[in-house]
């Protein structure tokens, strides 16, 4: 049975004391609660070096929120894949709607980042999804298809081996209202089927997690289906009690 993936994206939140204390409490939590599933903690990258050695558990990993297209050079403020690899990060989020909207990252840019990560054996967490207008015009599948096609075109048909997709409908992110479970399952099935039919990966090996207002009150519904392989948390990852409750619920449901 594949492990359920619980990824917590802190975005532009926290400080050194807050995040260090969060991780120290999490370490104590893991002394009495096993890590049955895969936990990925994704803070602002400036704090990773300060916390990377606090938790040494085989199913606990650190992630980064972005990567630059360039490996080195005069690119002020950017973080290269070599830097990310150097500090021991295993996962990197790319294509998040906030990057697409606020930083004008298009499908080609995101596909190039995907390729860079794969070249260094870092696992991309590729975010994709539609906005409310696209959903209302029944273009959800079309939008996701275009985002996937660019990856296959630039990276190749083996792109989605050892990779993660985070389906995040933009209209559900940060709203407090998760997408309807039937709708999420429908989109996950579409994504898995489309990738398996257009690349060199078996449908059962396509990993798709859901993101969009997931919390401790609705996590159970997203766990109890074979079509959803994990969750990408936003606000729920910032609060220790909420984050650990989600871990406890998924531990209980696993057995």
Active site residue 96: yes
213 labeled part of a ligand binding site: yes
Question: Pick the catalytic residue: 96, 130, 188, 216?
Answer: 96
Helix (H), strand (E) at residue 254: helix 240-254
All residues at 6 or more sequence positions from 225 whose CB lies less than 8 Å from its CB, including other chains: 181, 185
Q: Which of 98, 168, 188, 216 is catalytic?
A: 168
Residue 11 annotated as lining a ligand binding site = yes
Is 126:209 a contact under the CB 8 Å cutoff?
no
The Cα–Cα gap between 43 and 9 comes to 6
Q: State yes or no: is 168 an active-site residue.
A: yes
CB burial of residue 83 (10 Å; 0-12, 13-18, 19+): middle
Is 9 annotated among the ligand-binding residues?
Answer: yes
Is residue 226 annotated as involved in ligand binding? no
Answer whether 233's CB lies under 8 Å from 246's CB: yes
Residue in 1, 38, 2, 7 with CA at minimum distance from that of residue 165: 7
Residues taking part in catalysis: 96, 168
Annotated binding-site residue numbers for substrate: 9-11, 174, 213
């Amino acid at each position: 049975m594949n492990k359920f993936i619980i990824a917590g994206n802190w975005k532009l939140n926290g400080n050194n004391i807050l995040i260090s204390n969060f991780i120290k409490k999490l370490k104590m939590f893991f002394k009495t609660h096993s890590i049955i599933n895969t936990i990925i903690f994704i803070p602002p990258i400036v704090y990773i070096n300060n916390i990377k050695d606090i938790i040494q558990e085989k199913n606990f990993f650190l992630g980064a929120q972005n990567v630059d297209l360039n490996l080195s050079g005069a690119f002020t403020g950017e973080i290269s894949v070599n830097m990310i690899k150097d500090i021991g990060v295993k996962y990197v989020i790319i294509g998040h709607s906030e990057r697409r909207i606020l930083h004008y990252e298009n499908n080609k840019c995101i596909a190039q980042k995907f390729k860079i990560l794969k070249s260094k054996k870092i696992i991309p967490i590729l975010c994709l999804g539609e906005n409310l207008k696209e959903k209302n015009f029944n273009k959800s599948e079309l939008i996701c298809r275009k985002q996937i096609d660019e990856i296959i075109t630039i990276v190749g048909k083996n792109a989605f081996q050892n990779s993660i997709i985070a389906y995040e409908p933009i209209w559900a992110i940060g709203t407090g209202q998760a997408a309807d479970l039937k709708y999420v399952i429908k989109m996950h099935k579409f994504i898995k089927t489309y990738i398996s039919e257009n690349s060199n990966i078996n449908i059962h090996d396509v990993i798709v997690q859901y993101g969009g207002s997931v919390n401790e009150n609705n996590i159970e519904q997203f766990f109890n289906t074979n079509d959803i392989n994990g969750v990408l948390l936003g606000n729920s990852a910032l609060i220790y009690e909420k984050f650990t409750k989600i871990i406890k619920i998924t531990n209980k449901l696993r057995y």
